[in-house]
């Protein structure tokens, strides 16, 4: 074990320099032999996974003590092997949107004394005042402990029993009223976001006062952020990304990047009836015009690494204070630890009893660790106890969401175990 004082750390293989005052971090030596072995193990797992068509390609990043000890890109954007995955390939990160945009924005507002966890939902959104969700503290939504329904298939609620579109939902033709572009032959009613909010207002509870993972509150976060910040959600979180020098973390990436820079997801044969490429995979987020707090964000492993290394740096990025360290601790600690449920504010936490069938993270993860997974085949896990970040991005839903080999072979988890084993005695 070596103790090093980190002051303006700037090493050739460091992720970025940062300032820490009167603080020491313990570094576990990872020798060259262990790193070579880790490389071989991860290469073997990923190459086999690609051959089994668990996904066409992937980005994997491991940061230990502020240094990138593993940073590789595998395979191709699709199985036709035309475009190689590079560090600049942009992935649809699905539910990682919750911790990389929604929760991130709320943390910033909390720092600015504009967001209060104990306030009820109706305090932020007056239209929920007379609903059974209105009096629930927003903290409970972030902890997924309200018992509210997990999700609503908004695309399915647009049709009558005969299969025809309901009024003010969808149309196969563009017009001033149906102006939200979903595909070249499918357009959404311009005010449909209000209908999405109404459906959330009226939806049911599966079981009150229980932990049930739900993305519905995160559809509302952009509206909350906009009202509190006096800015659009996209601009507000975009300012955070700018302060971290991120330029590939964004919504609706086709506004800025060509398709060949963006990794495609599913060949949709039930709603949009097209190959999803450059637009969000999640149907609900697509109906929010691509900007939702539930899903919709695109990014790269390296840029996500910047966000969570900033967390491990007590909120500092290159000498600039981005977040209060107390806010990072508050949101990422176990805020609901009861029975078999352990959750942070927006973040997943390790279960009290590890089960390979229920856990995506490593069995070696400390109780301080936190992260999230994404439906498209993405994963972020941060462990402050070991000063460790693991990021896995893939498009396992290409070409169909029915492809469950990523889960079947526990690919992300095996890699996570190998990472810990490379430095743990």
CA distance 261 to 282: 20
Can you give the residue ranges of every domain in the chain? 31-152+203-421
User: Which residues is 180 bridged to in the sheet?
Assistant: 188
Residues 155 and 287 sit within 8 Å (Cβ to Cβ)? yes
In terms of Cβ atoms closer than 10 Å to its own Cβ (0-12, 13-18, 19+), residue 289 is buried
Look at residue 5 in the predicted model and tell me its pLDDT: 29
Tens-place pLDDT, residues 220-265: 999 999 999 999 999 999 999 999 999 999 999 999 999 999 999 9
Please spell the DSSP secondary structure of 78-109, one letter per residue.
STT--SB--TT-BEE-TTHHIIIIIHHHHHHH
CATH of span 31-152+203-421: 3.40.710.10
Q: Is 361 helix (H, G, I), strand (E, B) or coil?
A: coil
Tens-place pLDDT, residues 401-414: 999 999 999 999 99
* Residue 31 confidence (pLDDT) above 90: no
Tens-place pLDDT, residues 354-399: 888 888 999 999 999 999 999 999 999 999 999 999 999 999 999 9
């Amino acid at each position: 074990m070596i103790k090093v004082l980190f002051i303006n750390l700037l090493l050739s293989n460091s992720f970025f320099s940062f300032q820490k005052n009167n603080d020491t971090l313990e570094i576990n030596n990872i020798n060259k032999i262990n790193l070579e072995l880790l490389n071989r193990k991860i290469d073997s797992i990923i190459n086999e996974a690609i051959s089994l068509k668990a996904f066409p390609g992937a980005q994997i990043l491991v940061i230990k003590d502020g240094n990138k000890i593993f940073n590789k890109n595998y395979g191709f954007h699709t199985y036709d092997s035309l475009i190689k995955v590079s560090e600049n390939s942009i992935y649809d990160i699905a539910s990682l949107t919750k911790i990389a945009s929604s929760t991130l924005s709320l943390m910033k507002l909390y720092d600015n004394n504009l967001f209060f966890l104990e306030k009820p939902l109706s305090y932020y959104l007056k239209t929920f005042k007379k609903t059974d969700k209105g009096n629930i503290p927003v903290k409970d939504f972030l902890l997924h402990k309200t018992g509210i329904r997990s999700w609503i298939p908004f695309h399915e609620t647009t049709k009558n029993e005969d299969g025809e579109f309901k009024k003010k939902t969808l149309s196969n033709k563009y017009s001033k009223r149906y102006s939200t572009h979903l595909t070249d032959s499918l357009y959404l009613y311009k005010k449909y976001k209000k209908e999405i909010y109404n459906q959330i207002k009226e939806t049911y509870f599966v079981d009150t006062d229980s932990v049930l993972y739900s993305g519905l509150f995160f559809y509302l976060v952009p509206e909350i952020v906009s009202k509190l910040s006096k800015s659009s959600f996209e601009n507000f979180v975009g300012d955070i990304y700018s302060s971290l020098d991120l330029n590939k973390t964004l919504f609706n990436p086709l506004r800025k990047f060509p398709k060949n820079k963006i990794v495609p997801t599913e060949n949709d044969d039930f709603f949009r009836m097209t190959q999803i490429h450059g637009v969000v995979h999640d149907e609900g987020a697509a109906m929010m015009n691509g900007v939702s707090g539930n899903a919709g964000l695109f990014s790269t492993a390296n840029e996500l690494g910047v966000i969570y290394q900033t967390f491990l740096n007590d909120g500092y990025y290159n000498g600039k204070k981005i977040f209060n360290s107390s806010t990072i601790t508050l949101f990422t600690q176990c805020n609901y630890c009861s029975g078999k449920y352990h959750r942070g504010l927006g973040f997943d936490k390790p279960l009290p009893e590890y089960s390979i069938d229920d856990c995506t993270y490593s069995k070696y993860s400390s109780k301080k660790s936190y992260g999230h997974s994404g439906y498209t085949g993405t994963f972020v896990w941060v462990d402050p106890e070991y000063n460790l970040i693991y990021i896995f991005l893939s498009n396992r839903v290409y070409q169909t969401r029915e492809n469950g080999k990523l889960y079947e072979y526990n690919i992300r988890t095996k890699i996570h175990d190998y990472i810990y084993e490379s430095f743990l005695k």
